[in-house]
Amino acid sequence: MFHNDQLAAFWMPFTANRGFKAEPRLLAAAKDMHYTTTDGRAVLDGTAGLWCVNAGHCRELIVAAIREQAGKMDFGPTFQLGHPLAFDFANRVGELMPAGLDRVFFTNSGSEAVDSALKIALACQRSRGQGTRTRLIGRERGYHGTGFGGISVGGLVNNRRAFGTLLTGVDHLRHTHDVANAFSRGQPASGADLADDLERIVALHGSETIAAVIVEPMAGSTGVLLPPVGYLERLRESCTRHGIILIFDEVITAFGRLGTATAAERFKVVPDMITLAKGLTNAAVPMGAVAVSRAIHDDVVEGAPDGIELFHGYTYSGHPLAAAAGLATLDLYRDEHLFDRALELEPYWTDAIHSLRGHRHVIDLRTLGLVAGIELEPRSGEPNKRAFELFHDCFDRGLLVRATGDIIALSPPLIVTRSQIDEMVGIIADRLATID
């Protein structure tokens, strides 16, 4: 076990560092559906790590692919050079995207994917002779990572307030959460008209000033906010009508989380770009990507003078270890039919989660695919404390859940079994009964 002073150097991300270091929770190993803590306890993974280990932990096929690639070529630049794996992987990713979104720009994280997509949108509008289109539109309660672009279009005050003026020329749609839709299974019935916020922004600024809109088709990190029936369709129509590029941030929703390769496929709404990360490589090697429509790609690339067409990229774009991990990951998803598996499990999952209705503190339950948001009534004068304590308690009882505000979010690996779902819900029900 570590002494506390050994924990001082690592300034942990999105963590209450002082609290954590006084009472650390340390993971040592992982396999399939479980973590093992440094003191040897098994913890059932209710969150696929951080919404990312969709095929389960330390899968042999992925481990072997990384090992082999590390011994063959550790790194190869992709600026003015290339290596076959990155091209193979881009082709395979493109095949899983909605038709036409098969040009792939690689990054190393979701945050970088978001910033890349915003920059590609601006560059595209300029290539189209629409250089006045510089405004970017996000949504309240949106989470798009932590780059300056991502926090500017994002809608979480704590992620924004300490960081100055951010990007200028950004507006936000209202979020889609409505307590009137509490306890709905799947997409809530009312709220499609919230998409008309875009029409109001167009009326205010003029469509010729707006480059792009970015939304999570289902918002995960901010507590599982589901798109009302018809909302995404309406947003798509407005964007098309006004020449605005529509970006879906699918860092969480892609690769089977909603029972399909993408949320775009599930909701049958095709954006112009999709940001990816997390499940892209099963999180075994960090990687992100932007799937871009051919129209956008071609307008930027064909429209540019000779030479580099887009002055953007990362040293590690298309990194060989990440590409190797990604190819093996996509093989696993395909061979084990994991997206279909998630879809088949969805009714069982939904019933299990909704069995928590009526339990102490529970004021809403939201489910879609293999995702659940369990919203707790905030403790009077102590917002967010109850869910955080539940997270602690569950961890001590051998279950990893995620607390965001007063919401418990669940997103298990897609290999979860029915009995493991029962185990998760059982532990949560038990803890809800005892927590203050």
Place of tokens 């598996």: 341
Q: Which of 45, 102, 115, 216 touches ligand PLP by CB under 6 A?
A: 216
Cβ contacts of 193-201, under 8 Å, gap ≥ 24: 193/234, 194/228, 194/231, 195/230, 195/231, 195/232, 195/234, 195/235, 195/238, 196/234, 196/238, 197/173, 198/137, 198/173, 198/235, 198/238, 198/239, 198/242, 198/244, 199/238, 201/137, 201/171, 201/173
Size of site (CB under 6 A) for ligand PLP:
14
Residues 263-282 that bind ligand PLP (CB under 6 A): 277
Q: Which segment (103-111, 170-178, 225-233, 365-373) binds ligand PLP by CB under 6 A?
A: 103-111
Nearer to ligand PLP, 197 or 250 (CB): 250
Strands 407-410 and 371-376: antiparallel
Does 258 sit near ligand PLP (CB under 6 A)?
no
Q: Is 102 in the site for ligand PLP (CB under 6 A)?
A: no
**Closer Cβ to ligand PLP, 121 or 277, answer by number:** 277
**Pick 34 or 139: Cβ nearer ligand PLP:** 139
Of residues 202 and 252, the one with the C-beta less far from ligand PLP: 252
Amino acid symbol at 206: G
At residue 91, what is the residue type?
A: N
Should residue 291 be labelled a site residue for ligand PLP when binding is judged by CB under 6 A? no
Return the residue of 251, 291, 408, 428 that touches ligand PLP, per CB under 6 A.
251
Closer of 277 and 300 to ligand PLP (Cβ):
277
Residue 424 CA: distances (Å) to CA of 1, 33, 44, 408, 436: 28, 12, 8, 12, 20
Contact flag: residue 114 with ligand PLP (CB under 6 A): yes
Among 191, 220, 223, 412, binds ligand PLP (CB under 6 A): 220
Closer Cβ to ligand PLP, 50 or 229, answer by number = 50
Residue whose beta carbon is closest to ligand PLP = 110
Cα 390 from Cα 148, distance rounded (Å): 32
**Which of 289/376 has CB closer to ligand PLP?**
289
Does 221 sit near ligand PLP (CB under 6 A)?
yes
Q: Is 140 in the site for ligand PLP (CB under 6 A)?
A: no
The one segment of 104-112, 394-402, 413-421, 425-433 that binds ligand PLP by CB under 6 A: 104-112
Distance of closest approach, residue 404 Cβ to ligand PLP, in angstroms:
10
Distance CA 312, CA 50 (A): 27
Q: For the CB of residue 98, give the shortest distance to ligand PLP in the complex, in Å.
A: 18
Distance in Å, CB of 132 to ligand PLP, minimum: 28
- From residue 31 to residue 70, the character string flagging contacts with ligand PLP as x (rule: CB under 6 A) and all else as - is ----------------------------------------
Residue from 46, 56, 98, 110 in contact with ligand PLP (CB under 6 A): 110
Please state the closest distance from residue 251 (CB atom) to ligand PLP, in A.
4
Q: Answer positive or negative: Cα dihedral of 408, 412, 418, 424.
A: negative
Kindly tell me which residue out of 46, 49, 56, 145 binds ligand PLP, with binding defined by CB under 6 A: 145
Interface with ligand PLP (CB under 6 A), residue from 102, 140, 249, 299: 249
CB of 189 to ligand PLP, least distance (A): 24
The correct pick among 69, 78, 111, 152 for binding ligand PLP (CB under 6 A) is 111
CB closer to ligand PLP out of 53 and 356: 53
- The set of residues, in sequence order, having a beta carbon less than 8 Å from that of 115 and lying 6+ positions away, is 145, 147, 148, 149, 150
The CB-of-71 to ligand PLP minimum distance in angstroms stands at 27
What x-and-dash track marks residues 176-215 binding ligand PLP by CB under 6 A? ----------------------------------------
Binding site for ligand PLP (CB under 6 A): 109-111, 114, 143-145, 216, 220-221, 249, 251-252, 277
